[in-house]
A and B are shown apart, each in its own frame.
Chain A
Amino acid sequence: MSVSATGGAPLDFDAVYRDHARLVARWAARLGGPAVSVDDVVQDVFLVVSRRLAAFRGEAKLTTWLFRITEKTVRNARRGIRRRPWLARLTPRIAEAAPAPQPSPAEDCERREAAVAFYRILDSLPEKQRNVLVLYELEAMGAPEIGDLLGMKAAAVRVMLHRARARFLDRMQVEAKSEGRP
């Protein structure tokens, strides 16, 4: 029977969904970037949770467990998009042609461009480095918190973060050079 990490009380799916759906959505948005549908990831994550909650025994923190499922789901979604490039072309076109629900100022456009550029560079990093960088730079989490989520020691997180940042900056400079920017 599934138990909560603190008191040993059984975990109820509805309660887990109510308490953590927003957090999972936030992770999904940050890890997946603009190419991934947050709603779909949340749905897939909680489908897995609904199937496996009974087997969850509280060996890890609930958030750590949820993060692992989210990270895998996002990785699969990104793989799926890479495998079907024609669809990736099609869907943004539909979305681009449809007027935005709110007035679309130039800021939206800039934000979208920044997101595309950022995640393009991010995708060149190994998965673990990618996750550490996202959680540190975008989610503003500290090394110990990241270690809790990823099941690593804080020192290992710092080393990985250092490598991830160096690699990201290198890649950014390569892209800038290829586009003729200083």
Chain B
Amino acid sequence: MTGGGSGEARWRELPAGQGAEGRAGEMVRRLGNPALPGDERLAAIRVRIRLRRGPRIVRRRFAPVLVVVALLTGTTLGLAASGWIEPLRERWIRRAVEPPVPAADPPRRRLRARRAEPAPVEEPPAVVAPALEPAPAPAAAPAPVPLRRPGPSIAPDAGPRRETALLATAIRKLRRAGDARGALSALDERAAAFPGGELAPEADLVRVEALLALGERGAALRLLDERADAPPRARQALLVRGELRAEAGRCADAARDLGMVLSHPPRDALDARALLARASCRSRLHDYAGARGDLEDYLRGFPGGPDAAQAAAALRAMP
């Protein structure tokens, strides 16, 4: 039989053993007929189309406004998701809580700032900023930090400054230059110079980001695993750990991490990812009710989200 005017038989009409074409025919025969939506599903699609169309005049008149709003929302969510807002906020808080400069010392301080000289012997306290979480107390310095440190020394806050500079270098290399290996080198330098430094949690997060950029997901997960108790400000770290654990098949651990991410009040892009990842975990743990709940939450919270269609499809596939 010829193929409807093409002059060649269709693959499916050839016997199975007949060379490459026969194998292709076998493949086509095994495909069978596709599962098509029935009347009910087509009616449901029709309803969705009716809802999506909306009054034409509204769409035309407000389309520019909607575009601007969408751009602003997207930018804000993008900033939040990329982790830039949190460090900025912390910096502002640190500035706000930094102890005021003693009144007796203002001329000297201004002079130092202008000339950028090495810090003078008498200098305000070494503790630059109280961490948001309590930092481990240094073993060699049980006494309270004096306001003025006697004797010549390097600038008391040069350590934290150097640590911050190294971390900033790592972030710049990673996020602006896309140089993950360079970022890891800067992080190694920071870790060697400041073992257990104040910025260790932040440095760990940057290291995880760099490892993920290099595709070393196992190493990233090991590092996150070592952090038994991630502080609340590292929601993104918890989310990434949850996703990596889910990928490694450790669904129970992953569901716990993702649950912690979702227990925080803001409803943001991290929640969206956490809900989808937890739905995946729960379905693999045969917790279909939980998975269904997560997908429904996702569709309720992010009806226009980029993965809404896939979430809806997954929801339909749930028992």
Contacts and interface: CB of A to CB of B under 8 A. Distances in A.
Interface stretch (A3-11, A62-70, A89-97, A123-131): A89-97
Contacts of B41: 39
Interface string B30-59: 111011110001100110110011000000
A25 B42 contact: yes
Contacts of B234: none
B31 A40 contact: no
Q: SS class of chain B's interface: helix, strand, loop or mixed?
A: helix
Contact of A138 (B31, B42, B283): B31
B271 to A, nearest CB: 16
B215 interface: no
A143 interface: yes
A114 B27 contact: yes
A40 B313 contact: yes
A114 B27 CA distance: 6
Given A37-B310, A137-B12, A118 B28 contact: yes
Nearest to A26: B36
Given A38-B34, A94-B283, A137-B12, A21 B5 contact: no
Q: SS class of chain A's interface: helix, strand, loop or mixed?
A: helix
Contacts of A52: none
B12 A37 contact: no
B6 A161 contact: yes
Interface string B1-30: 001111110111000000011011001101
B35 A136 contact: no
A136 B310 contact: no
B10 A140 contact: yes
B309 A40 contact: yes
Nearest to B46: A17
Interface stretch (B92-100, B147-155, B173-181, B273-281): B273-281
B318 interface: yes
B180 to A, nearest CB: 18
A21 B4 contact: no
Contact of A114 (B3, B6, B30, B46): B30
Q: How large is the interface on A (under 10, 10 to 19, 20 to 34, 35 or more residues)?
A: 35 or more
Contact of B284 (A51, A93, A101, A140): A93
A29 B35 contact: yes
B30 A110 contact: yes
Interface string A132-155: 000011101111110000000010
The residue in A26, A110, A157, A165 that gathers the most chain B C-beta atoms within 10 A of its C-beta is A165
Contact of B31 (A22, A118, A136, A145): A118
B10 A26 contact: no
A143 B277 CA distance: 46
Contact of A39 (B10, B12, B306, B313): B313
A101 to B, nearest CB: 8
Contacts of A90: 276-277, 280, 310
A21 to B, nearest CB: 5
A162 B8 CA distance: 9
Given A37-B309, A93-B283, A117-B27, A143 B34 contact: no
B23 A46 contact: no
A60 B196 CA distance: 72
Interface of A: 17, 21-22, 25-26, 29-30, 37-40, 42-43, 46-47, 50-51, 84, 87, 90-91, 93-95, 97-99, 101, 110-111, 114-115, 117-118, 136-138, 140-145, 154, 157-158, 161-162, 165, 168-169, 172-173, 176
Given A21-B46, A98-B314, A136-B10, 15 more contacts: A21-B42, A25-B37, A29-B34, A38-B35, A42-B37, A46-B45, A46-B49, A90-B310, A95-B317, A97-B283, A97-B286, A114-B30, A117-B27, A118-B27, A158-B6
19 contacts: A17-B46, A22-B42, A26-B34, A38-B34, A38-B36, A43-B48, A46-B45, A50-B49, A51-B53, A91-B310, A93-B284, A94-B280, A94-B318, A98-B319, A111-B30, A118-B28, A141-B4, A165-B11, A169-B24
Interface of B: 3-8, 10-12, 20-21, 23-24, 27-28, 30-32, 34-37, 41-42, 45-46, 48-49, 52-53, 276-277, 279-280, 283-284, 286, 288, 291, 306-307, 309-310, 313-314, 316-319
